[in-house]
């Protein structure tokens, strides 16, 4: 068996060293490539993150802008709603005022003819328009209150409506049922009620008479009784 010479050993070491150098070179190249790819990947990730963040900020700004626009529109709508509400209230007050004025006109138109009817037909000596009385925190208003003492000993209450509806009958009935409570000074008198109107809903005049009221309507700007001469009105508060 031939022995290995020193030169062969040295040659072997040189080959191993060369292989090591080559392996080390390849390792460094591989490491550098990995580092390069990692840096590129990191840069791309950072770029995408920055792009996402930019889009998010733009979206957030757009959302804030739209929210501010909606808020401004809401404020404008709220102001317009308040203005509309105020206008509706003003119109309501104006309509109410017109209704009151028309009611006063109707009562004023009814008063002269009613005074004649009350004096001639019922013997009234006192006729008072628009009587308002307050008792126990409650207030009632009577369009025309008339009465006579002595032998007549009668009180006649007149309710005047520009338009007589079914609820007008109920309203007048409530007044008549509590008349003696609010006017105890007339407690010993017979109390009658006259419901007078310019315009009557269909059937209400008959219902008013069925409820015991005398009725009156306007003819040629004069109020006249429309109940028959033999009609027996209800005596309110008796029995």
Domain extent, residue 151, equals: 111-225
Q: What is residue 92's predicted lDDT score, i.e. its pLDDT?
A: 42
55's tokens: 């889009």
DSSP string, 211-239: TT-EEEEEETTEEEE-S-TT-----TT--
Q: Are 211 and 190 in contact (CB under 8 A)?
A: no
Residue 88 has pLDDT above 60, yes or no: no
Q: Does a structural domain hold residue 1?
A: no
- CATH code of 122's domain: 3.40.1350.10
- CA angle centred on 11, ends 7 and 16, rounded to 5°: 150
Q: What is the pLDDT of residues 187-224, one digit of tens each?
A: 899 999 999 988 899 999 999 999 999 999 887 778 88
First-to-final CA distance of the chain: 157
Q: What is residue 25's predicted lDDT score, i.e. its pLDDT?
A: 77
Q: Does a structural domain hold residue 103?
A: no
Q: Does a structural domain hold residue 90?
A: no
Q: What is the pLDDT of residues 131-151, one digit of tens each?
A: 999 988 888 999 899 999 999
- C-alpha dist (Å) from residue 149 to 73, 84, 133, 184, 190: 70, 55, 20, 14, 10
Q: Does a structural domain hold residue 94?
A: no
**DSSP assignment, residue 237?**
T
Q: Does a structural domain hold residue 81?
A: no
Q: Are 216 and 225 in contact (CB under 8 A)?
A: yes
**Number of folded domains in the chain?**
1
Q: Does a structural domain hold residue 237?
A: no
Q: Does a structural domain hold residue 53?
A: no
Q: Does a structural domain hold residue 235?
A: no
Residue 239 burial (CB count, 10 A):
3
Q: What is residue 119's predicted lDDT score, i.e. its pLDDT?
A: 93
Residue 171 has pLDDT above 60, yes or no: yes
């Amino acid at each position: 068996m031939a022995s290995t010479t020193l030169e062969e050993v040295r040659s072997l070491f040189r080959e191993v060293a060369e292989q090591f150098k080559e392996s080390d070179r390849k390792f460094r190249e591989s490491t550098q490539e990995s580092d390069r790819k990692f840096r590129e990947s990191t840069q791309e990730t950072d770029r995408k993150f920055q792009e996402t963040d930019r889009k998010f900020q733009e979206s957030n700004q757009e959302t804030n802008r739209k929210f501010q626009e909606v808020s401004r529109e809401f404020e404008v709508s709220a102001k317009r709603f308040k203005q509309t509400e105020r206008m509706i209230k003003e119109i309501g007050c104006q309509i109410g005022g017109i209704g009151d004025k028309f009611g006063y006109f109707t009562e004023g138109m009814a008063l002269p003819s009613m005074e004649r009817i009350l004096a001639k037909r019922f013997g009234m000596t006192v006729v008072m328009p628009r009587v308002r009385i307050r008792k126990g925190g409650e207030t009632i208003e009577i369009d025309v209150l008339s009465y006579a003492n002595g032998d007549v000993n009668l009180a006649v209450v007149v309710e005047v409506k520009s338009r007589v509806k079914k609820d007008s009958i109920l309203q007048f009935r409530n007044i008549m049922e509590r008349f003696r409570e609010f006017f105890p000074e007339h407690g010993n008198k017979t109390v009658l009620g006259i419901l007078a109107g310019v315009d009557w809903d269909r059937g209400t005049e008959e219902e008013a008479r069925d409820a015991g009221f005398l009725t009156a309507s306007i003819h040629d700007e004069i109020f006249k009784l429309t109940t028959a001469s033999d009609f027996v009105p209800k005596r309110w508060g008796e029995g």
